[in-house]
Amino acid sequence: MSTESREILKRVFGYSSFRGDQEAIVDAAVEGRDSLVVMPTGGGKSLCYQIPSLLRDGTGLVVSPLIALMQDQVAALKELGIAAEFLNSSQDPDEQRAIIGRLQRRELDLLYMAPERLVGQGTRALLRDSPIALIAIDEAHCVSQWGHDFRRDYLELNELGRLFPGVPRMALTATATERTREEIVERLELRDPGTYVAPFDRANIRYTVQAKTDARRQLLGFLKSHRGHAGIVYCLSRKKTESTAEWLNNEGFNALPYHAGLDTGVRSENQRRFLAEDGLIVVATIAFGMGIDKPDVRFVAHLDLPKSMESYYQETGRAGRDGEPADAWMVYGLQDVVRLRQMLDESDADDAYKRHERQKLDALLGWCEVTGCRRAPLLAYFGDRLAEDCGNCDGCLVPAETWDGTEAAQKLLSAVYRTGQRFGAAHVVDVLLGKTTDKVVQHGHAELSVFGIGQDLDAKTWRSVVRQLIVGNFIRADAERYGAIVLTEDSRALLRGERSVRFRKEPKAPGRSSRRVTVVSTSIRAEDQDLWEALRECRQRLAAEHAVPPYVIFHDKTLAEMIAVKPRNAAELLEISGIGQAKLERYGDEFLAVLHGSEAAESANR
């Protein structure tokens, strides 16, 4: 059995080995057993049900809540020569009838549908008379009433077990908490399912977080290593997405804005272009990204803080789904913290909710200030462990230096106390630096004992001290009083000298990521640059002809491998990752022609 699934992996998908538990999951389904599959985004969930659907008798049914994703997946499968279709409300009755006809004639390998479709009486009756190979339930966490993606229709999917006895069911999700897992098994009534939980880690994503000094300049520095790459830049406000996109265009990047306030037509056009064109940057609010499945997003940059670790992980998870190196890069500053807390305080939510959300924000802030490996605490937050430091985050690559900040902290806490816990960080820092501003004069703060005691440090360092003391919960910015800094319980021990603190040194120049060596394996040597462009042009042309995004033709990785290997004929092309039989037949000649000039390709084929 394994040999059969491996043969399909190679022949149809063009891959030479399974990843992680994929093979065991495929085997379980082929043998007719239920399973629960928990894999991070980009882990390779789809193969787990696609291959058994090809191996077992009948059609594989895939329940998926996102109509846009369905269309993309089906288009990609057709490119692989797989008989796949979807049923949803966007089709007229004739189209639907034609698809159901093919289902009944056993002509379909895979059929995607939305959950509300599957629970409808009419569809069920039809399906009962059709041979079903397996039922895959994607985004299975949607059954969880506690989760943020709850969908009522998913609750009715439990009946599938009774309606199709003997048909294996596979529930798949990227949401890993223990509780959600149990809920899925229980509510979907999976029968003694094999459970496969892949490591939560996205090892190919490099995490970098910097203090915000000059966000745009820092972003430019970061983008140097991502020329021509597709990426997402997240901002908090709609206005900022537009101004940032415009500025990026002026800087020579190809950038488009995306937010919920854009005209629907413009919005979907921008999303379409992001998928269809190479190397586009979308500057977006968090409204962007749901239901896009672009595998070659090379970076996700945050110009503003997300609101929790969960949001951060989800948003950055959109990078590098193809498993190739990708960057998650973020700048954050005190302003973000104050603003997010303020937004929270001003919302109409109840107190318990606000407290909960504040804790989530604090967890994220604490993580931003981490001094060692960044990945370890990130995974720990989600209940996963990392055996050793990852070597692929800023903490590992450019270890932060720390300094003993006890005395500085005491000075700052004293200044907060002496000025009456009524002022924001900027004023407190002015007092420490001994600046006679209007405000200082107005409140008589030049007479205080703390006035000017902080001249050993500069304003930037003091702001960093404030930020780290907030994260450490020694002070807090009181949103009800316009961000006034107030002391917390924990500050006492510090003030009394009963405990010490260490702060992380801020990097001297912004954009330290630009110093590092890029290890993007798809990066192309200078002498191959022309060939690379020619291959990408060929891909873009074929993509337009077939009305699919370029990555559906071939991933960057496949093109890069072509350059490295220079395959001379069909057999050698088949050795390259991502080239299976169908794609070889469809595109092989075109790419050989680009690689060797058209005559060489013809003679190789003879």
Specify the residue, 37 or 413, whose C-beta has the smaller distance to ligand ADP.
37
Residues 6 or more apart whose CB falls under 8 angstroms from that of 510 comprise 210, 213, 214, 217, 218, 221
Q: Single out the segment in contact with ligand ADP by CB under 6 A; choices: 35-43, 97-105, 325-333, 338-346.
A: 35-43
Residues 6 or more apart whose CB falls under 8 angstroms from that of 253 comprise 223, 281
Instruction: Residue 235: name its binding partner from ligand ADP, Zn ion, none (Cβ under 5 to 8 Å by kind).
Output: none
Is 45 an interacting residue with respect to Zn ion (CB under 5 A)? no
Specify the residue, 493 or 564, whose C-beta has the smaller distance to ligand ADP.
564
Q: Which of residues 238-297 bind ligand ADP (CB under 6 A)?
A: 295
87, containing H or E segment? strand 84-87
Provide the minimum distance between the beta carbon of 384 and Zn ion in the complex, in angstroms, as a whole number: 14
Provide the minimum distance between the beta carbon of 364 and ligand ADP in the complex, in angstroms, as a whole number: 24
Among 141, 375, 467, 536, binds Zn ion (CB under 5 A): 375
- Strands 326-332, 297-302: parallel, antiparallel or unpaired by DSSP? parallel
Cα separation, 313 vs 311, whole angstroms: 5
Residue with tokens 């008798």: 57
Instruction: Residue 47: name its binding partner from Zn ion, ligand ADP, none (Cβ under 5 to 8 Å by kind).
Output: ligand ADP
Site map (CB under 5 A) of Zn ion, residues 391-430, x = contact? --x--x----------------------------------
Instruction: Residue 390: name its binding partner from ligand ADP, Zn ion, none (Cβ under 5 to 8 Å by kind).
Output: Zn ion
Residues 6 or more apart whose CB falls under 8 angstroms from that of 445 comprise 419, 431, 439, 451
Site map (CB under 6 A) of ligand ADP, residues 385-404, x = contact? --------------------
- CB 284: neighbour CB atoms within 10 A? 27
Cα separation, 230 vs 275, whole angstroms: 9
Instruction: Residue 60: name its binding partner from ligand ADP, Zn ion, none (Cβ under 5 to 8 Å by kind).
Output: none
Which amino acid, 43?
Answer: G
Instruction: Residue 19: name its binding partner from Zn ion, ligand ADP, none (Cβ under 5 to 8 Å by kind).
Output: ligand ADP
Sign of CA dihedral 532, 69, 200, 51: negative
- Cβ-closest residue to ligand ADP? 44
Among 202, 321, 476, 536, binds ligand ADP (CB under 6 A): 321
Do 291 and 243 contact (CB within 8 A), yes or no?
no
Specify the residue, 42 or 483, whose C-beta has the smaller distance to ligand ADP.
42
Is 373 an interacting residue with respect to Zn ion (CB under 5 A)? yes
Tokens at 58, concatenated: 């009948």
Specify the residue, 316 or 419, whose C-beta has the smaller distance to ligand ADP.
316
Specify the residue, 46 or 316, whose C-beta has the smaller distance to ligand ADP.
46
Q: Which of residues 194-253 bind Zn ion (CB under 5 A)?
A: none
Three-state DSSP state, 442: helix
Provide the minimum distance between the beta carbon of 376 and Zn ion in the complex, in angstroms, as a whole number: 7
Is 322 an interacting residue with respect to ligand ADP (CB under 6 A)? yes
The β-bridge partners of 194 are: 35
Do 493 and 203 contact (CB within 8 A), yes or no?
no
Provide the minimum distance between the beta carbon of 295 and ligand ADP in the complex, in angstroms, as a whole number: 4
String of b and e for 541-550 (b: at least 16 CB within 10 Å)? ebbeeeebbb
- CB 291: neighbour CB atoms within 10 A? 14
Instruction: Residue 320: name its binding partner from Zn ion, ligand ADP, none (Cβ under 5 to 8 Å by kind).
Output: none
Among 10, 11, 19, 216, binds ligand ADP (CB under 6 A): 19
Sign of CA dihedral 56, 59, 61, 66: positive
Among 12, 26, 30, 42, binds ligand ADP (CB under 6 A): 42
Instruction: Residue 39: name its binding partner from ligand ADP, Zn ion, none (Cβ under 5 to 8 Å by kind).
Output: ligand ADP
Cα 453 versus chain centre, distance = 45
Site map (CB under 6 A) of ligand ADP, residues 288-317, x = contact? -------x----------------------
Tokens at 120, concatenated: 């409808």
Q: Which of residues 146-205 bind ligand ADP (CB under 6 A)?
A: none
Cα separation, 383 vs 542, whole angstroms: 44
Specify the residue, 317 or 405, whose C-beta has the smaller distance to ligand ADP.
317
Provide the minimum distance between the beta carbon of 317 and ligand ADP in the complex, in angstroms, as a whole number: 9
Is 39 an interacting residue with respect to ligand ADP (CB under 6 A)? yes
Sign of CA dihedral 106, 188, 55, 18: positive
Residues 6 or more apart whose CB falls under 8 angstroms from that of 201 comprise 40, 375, 379, 384, 386, 390
Cα separation, 277 vs 539, whole angstroms: 11
* Interacting residues toward ligand ADP by CB under 6 A: 15, 18-19, 22, 39, 41-47, 295, 321-323
* Interacting residues toward Zn ion by CB under 5 A: 373, 375, 389-390, 393, 396
